[in-house]
Amino acid sequence: MRLAADHVRVSVPATAGNLGPGFDALGMALGLVDDLEVRAVASSSVEVEIEGEGAGSLPRDESHLVVQALRAALDHVGASQTGLSIRAVNRIPHGRGLGSSAAAVVAGIVAARSLIAEPEALPASEVLTLANAFEGHPDNAAPAIYGGATVAWKDAAGVHARPLIVSDEIETAVLVPGSTLPTKEARAVLPAKVPHVDAAFNVGRAALLVNSLAGRPEDLLAATEDKLHQGYRADVLGPATAMVRELRSRGLAAVVSGAGPSVLVLGTGLEEAGLGTGLLSWAEGIGGDRWHCIHTRERVPGATGVRL
């Protein structure tokens, strides 16, 4: 496989995993996007320029996640490796349960797909398989690839995902605190086993959530109840626990976004409910934090790559 382009641009959205009861299975693309420009250069060097999130902390060499994923994708299709010059404009907050690592992995793979002569060698299903090898669970990678809301699963044949039907009336609002929470820390507090009654509860709620997203928003508050992960994580979620409690007391379908501590709200009329984009003055001090909101009305597309 040869490279057919030397300059591409990639956009990839933030994502929320779990959506409450759909632990490691359900996910949704959010209205916040990272952009990258990738150039193949005639050398073995790697240069990474970073603007925005992670500018002061992310590596700028081969260890950068975008570079690792891009190289893995080139190897997967038998393409030659190349030197790289990457400019990343990062808008997705890191360490806040918004899929920043999944976005980086998907961006690298989609950049490779855009560089090679036969991009059809990396269809969405293969992008998901490669991304899952990095992530270990597909609930963030799937909506980053397909856009909208998705359900993903793994079996003996590999990893799979399907888009979900989401009514045009469903909006999202993501409340992002100033504090962070490493995903490993949030996963470490989960028990190895859960009561059968709790598992059955979540199966029912996850099924109800799929139905609610398709056009029954009046059921979203019940559909986003969970007994598999949020309760166990309450003590490490920091401000998210207090914010979820506050929003649900107002009748809003709020859940922890991924591993947190951001909070996702699904519903209608969210801006009228005080969840417009920007700093939320009414939320000042809830959970001891400040909260910035990203409100989205329309379906968010998945990752795209174009040759320049």
Q: Is 0.85 topped by the overall pTM?
A: yes
Full domain range(s) for residue 226: 171-296
Could you tell me if 268 and 290 lie in one domain? yes
Do the annotations mark residue 93 as ligand-binding? yes
The dihedral over CA atoms of 135, 140, 141, 147, expressed in degrees to the nearest 10, equals 180
What confidence tier does 270 reach under pLDDT thresholds 50, 70, 90? very high
295 labelled ligand-binding: no
CA distance 201 to 219: 15
Q: What is the CATH number of the domain that holds 235?
A: 3.30.70.890
Query: Is 44 assigned a ligand-binding role in the annotation?
Result: no
User: Do 25 and 113 fall into the same domain?
Assistant: yes
Report pLDDT digits (tens) over 89-101: 999 999 999 999 9
**Residue 251 annotated as binding site:** no
Quote the CA–CA distance of 60 and 46 in Å, as a whole number.
8
Other beta carbons within 10 Å of 44: 10
pLDDT the model gives residue 248 = 98
Same domain, 154 and 175: no
What CATH code is carried by the domain that includes residue 50? 3.30.230.10
Residue 1 lies in a domain: no
Check whether 11 is labelled as a binding-site residue: no
Is 103 labeled as ligand-binding? yes
Mean pLDDT of the region 74-89: 96
13 among the known binding-site residues? Answer: no
Is the residue at 243 inside a domain?
Answer: yes
133 and 260 in a single domain? The answer is no
**Overall domain count for the chain:** 2
Task: Answer yes or no: do 151 and 214 share one domain.
Answer: no
- One domain for residues 236 and 287: yes
> Are 147 and 29 in contact, with CB atoms under 8 Å apart?
yes
